[in-house]
Structure 1
Amino acid sequence: MHRSRFLILPLLSLGAADALAQAAAAPSGNAAPAELAGSLFQMLSGLAVVIALLLACLWLIRRLAAPRGSAAAIKVLGAAAVGPRERVVLVRLGEQVLVLGVAPGSVTKLHEMRPEDLPPATGGGAPPSPQRSFPAWLKQAMERRDAR
């Protein structure tokens, strides 16, 4: 909201300068202050309408972009690139946690796990450890699986 103040100030100063120039060019008398006030009111009311339209559009975009229904239950917990266009993605779907392989044109379920088995950085029970990242945890989990 602070940026919009900086954008509005030049518009106000331009409108006020225009109104002052018109008042200076008008013949002296009581009509000039009334014209100045009218121009200033017209400019400010137009600005208020534009700002109200912008806020209404932002509210509408936010409202329409919110996930609904089953999409609200899906949360991406982490991802790691395993190739130039392939990724391994950790997804929470309700009470299930899925490890998915994502490539152009396909999504494959690689593994299903319990939420308790999650690494700390993605929402497990233990506090997050700064040296453990999702790719390191994925490598360790795959090594454990291959050892079985």
Structure 2
Amino acid sequence: MLNRYPALLLLLSFPAFADTGKPNYVPPPSVISTDNMLQMMGGLLLVLIIIAGAAWVLKRFSLIPATAAGVIKVIAASGVGQRERVVVVEIDNTWLVLGVAPGRVNKLHTLQKPSENPGSAQTNPAADAFADQLNQSIHKEHA
């Protein structure tokens, strides 16, 4: 009977020769471990601290421009102390110079709105000459 089924004899002998155990085998460490979770939480905390710090710096140094909404517009603001500021506010065509401190706002001076923007009076003649020359060269290319 064994002569009739030689393939069956071969199949029965393979499991006997198979390597059933590895004595030095160490399973890989789990991906979800305490060290990995602490590292991930530390990275998340670091990102949140960076975001909060950037928001504080932007707020502290007034790097985010205030939007003008409605009748009142903030023209300029400058810090003069730890928590005190001098603010120029436009209401209608009047500028008010205000002293602002925690819990207190004082009117320091009243001005009429100037006819031109205060920043435009300080122009550079060299920059104006360059701008004119640039405009002329652009118009020559398109003509």
TM above 0.5, one fold? no
* TM, length-normalised to structure 1: 0.34
Give the structure with the higher percent helix.
1
